[in-house]
Amino acid sequence: MRRLLLATLALLGLAASAAAQSREARPAPAYESPYRVKFTWTDEQLIPDLLQGPRANWKDWGRAPFSEWYKRENHSRWQHRGPGMKHLPAPSIAAGKDARWLRERVLATGLRYVGLGYEHHHLPDWDPPADWPSSPKRPRAGRGLDCSNFTGFTYNLALGFFPSTDIQRQSEMTEIAGPGPGRTTPVRRIELPKNFDDYERVLRPADLLFIRNNSGRLSHVVLWVGPLGRHKGREQWLILDSTDGTHRDIEGNPIPPGIQLRPFTPSTWYARNASHALRIIPD
């Protein structure tokens, strides 16, 4: 009887150990955002050329041909940022569209990259091999964009606007190249209201909103989503950005670094440190 009891306990111990190992080996569930964006038009109406068409092939977006992206001789030339993005032409689908459609197209374009990581790259799909030089501040982790490369990439892909991706230069723009090569468009600076409730009146979706760090230096840029944001069907002011910072959603869950929708409330770092906005798409 004693032998049988010991054998049973041993089997139970092995089963418990196997279950624990199974739990430890199981990957953590992917983050599921509680936020959505309420558009007037569908993706098929806003970005059909990005889904299937002349702007759908990411291998065509680099200044250098795709065949050269991973050549060793480009290590010192590109370093951790990878190949630059070329200035894309103005999309024919945008001709004659009103400001509201253009703004929604920019946001719909940016939302296609939600889930990518925070990386100091010019192109979101650039994924260098392990022996490629990594950023001096962080190891390479895969595909992704940083904040100003994300806003610059999104406006270029969506509408053919080509801003500097240097955060300081982007924040000081008075005009921008585009739409398409050979053209320029005035950029309007928007001073932010003192009253938080007035943000909805002053800002427009897809405006560039610039943020200062806790030391007062301008260090971040986001796409303003504002009242187009939704949480469980109700209006929730949001921004869309790429950051390596730590933020939580309305349900208290940590939002992963990289490209994500994030809340904009009076208590958030974004609202406390907001500097000014720039408007590329005129009223």
68: domain CATH number is 3.90.1720.10
* Structural domain includes residue 11: no
Q: In this structure, are strands 208-212 and 234-235 parallel, antiparallel, or unpaired? A: unpaired
Say what the pLDDT of residue 211 is: 98
* Count of domains forming the chain: 1
Q: Check: CB of residue 156 under 8 Å from CB of residue 88.
A: yes
Say what the pLDDT of residue 188 is: 98
Say what the pLDDT of residue 21 is: 40
Q: Check: CB of residue 79 under 8 Å from CB of residue 140.
A: no
* Structural domain includes residue 1: no
pTM summary value? 0.89
Say what the pLDDT of residue 29 is: 66
* Structural domain includes residue 25: no
The residue range of the domain holding 70 is 33-279
* Structural domain includes residue 129: yes
* Structural domain includes residue 154: yes
Q: Which residues of the chain have pLDDT under 50?
A: 1-26
* Structural domain includes residue 243: yes
Say what the pLDDT of residue 214 is: 87
* Structural domain includes residue 113: yes
* Structural domain includes residue 167: yes
Say what the pLDDT of residue 8 is: 42
